[in-house]
């Protein structure tokens, strides 16, 4: 959860945006929607412009918010898989609404994500 919108006005819409509004969070969530589970390193391939630090941070916030599950295998070298939680899956219709609205504006490459 971000703190930007530490909004004295208690608004559900703002609250929802605080969950998904991180710069890379929608892309992370969509990746997990499409792939069931994704390893840390895989994210850095799927999202080339994200740094490991920011990726860690966004994943941790999503995990703290209960939207994703982090599963660590006690192996060396390490293996960590991320997946959507049941709660996270309830976001899918919301993401689709945002996607459809945002997509109408100008159709572009990865708009086919949902199709």
Partner DNA sequence: CTATTTAGTTACTAATTTGTAACTACCAAT
Partner DNA sequence: ATTGGTAGTTACAAATTAGTAACTAAATAG
DSSP 1: -
Q: Which is nearer to a second copy, 10 or 75 (CB)?
A: 10
Q: Which does 102 bind (CB under 5 to 8 A by kind): DNA, a second copy, none?
A: a second copy
Stretch that binds a second copy, among 15-23, 34-42, 55-63, 72-80 (CB under 8 A): 15-23
Rounded to a whole number of angstroms, the minimum distance from the CB of residue 51 to DNA is 4
77 binds a second copy (CB under 8 A): no
Cis ω before 42 (30° cut-off from 0): no
Joined tokens for residue 26? 């929608």
Residues 47-66 contacting a second copy, CB under 8 A: 47, 49
Sign of the CA dihedral 41, 45, 46, 47? Answer: positive
Helices assigned H by DSSP within 1-115? 12-20, 25-35, 40-46, 52-64, 86-89, 92-105
CB of 12 to DNA, least distance (A): 17
Residues shown for the chain: 115
Residue numbers at the binding site for a second copy (CB under 8 A): 4-5, 7-17, 19-21, 23-24, 26-27, 30, 47, 49, 90-91, 93-95, 97-105, 108-111, 113
């Amino acid at each position: 959860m971000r703190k930007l919108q530490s909004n004295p006005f208690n608004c559900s819409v703002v609250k929802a945006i605080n969950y998904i509004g991180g710069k890379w969070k929608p892309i992370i969530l969509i990746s997990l929607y499409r792939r069931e589970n994704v390893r840390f390193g895989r994210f850095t391939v799927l999202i080339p412009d994200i740094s490991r630090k920011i990726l860690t941070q966004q994943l941790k916030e999503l995990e703290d918010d209960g939207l994703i599950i982090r599963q660590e295998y006690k192996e060396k070298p390490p293996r960590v898989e991320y997946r959507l939680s049941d709660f996270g899956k309830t976001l899918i219709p919301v993401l689709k609404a945002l996607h459809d609205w945002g997509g109408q504006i100008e159709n572009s490459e990865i708009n086919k994500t949902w199709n």
